Amino acid sequence: MSDRYGIVAKISSSLNKANLFILDSAHYGDPENKVFFMRAKLVYSKKHLNLDEFSKYFEKECKNLKMEWSIKEADYKPNTAIFVSKYGHCLKI
């Protein structure tokens, strides 16, 4: 999404209306490419968040931002590869 004023406020407000609490948030703009990035760790105030319902709500709520977004459960583990030039020097386990 392109960087502009009010993005963090709009997203935060929308998450609040959905009963999501922001535990942690990181966001930054890339001035060279005029792109905005945001990552947030959220807690739902009820037992379980229905991801389909939330997705529909959030898409509608933030439609004017024209952003690409995704939401993952906290236990989601992406496939990861770590490449190093020397095992003992560059990677400590």
Structural domains of the chain in order of their starting residue, each with its CATH number: 7-90 (3.30.70.260)
Q: What is the pLDDT of residues 10-46, one digit of tens each?
A: 999 999 999 999 999 999 988 888 889 999 999 998 8
Q: Where are the alpha helices (DSSP H) in 1-93?
A: 7-17, 51-61, 87-90
Q: What is the mean pLDDT of residues 42-69?
A: 90
pLDDT at residue 90 greater than cutoff 80 = no
pLDDT at residue 89 greater than cutoff 80 = no
Checking 54-63 for CB contacts under 8 A at 24+ apart, the result is 54/18, 57/18, 58/14, 58/18, 61/14, 61/17, 61/18, 62/10, 62/11, 62/14
- Give residues with Cβ within 8 angstroms of 65, minimum separation 6: 1, 7, 10, 11
Q: What is the mean pLDDT of residues 77-85?
A: 84
The pLDDT value recorded for residue 88 is 67
Q: Which two tokens stand for residue 33?
A: 């490419």
The pLDDT value recorded for residue 55 is 93
The pLDDT value recorded for residue 20 is 94
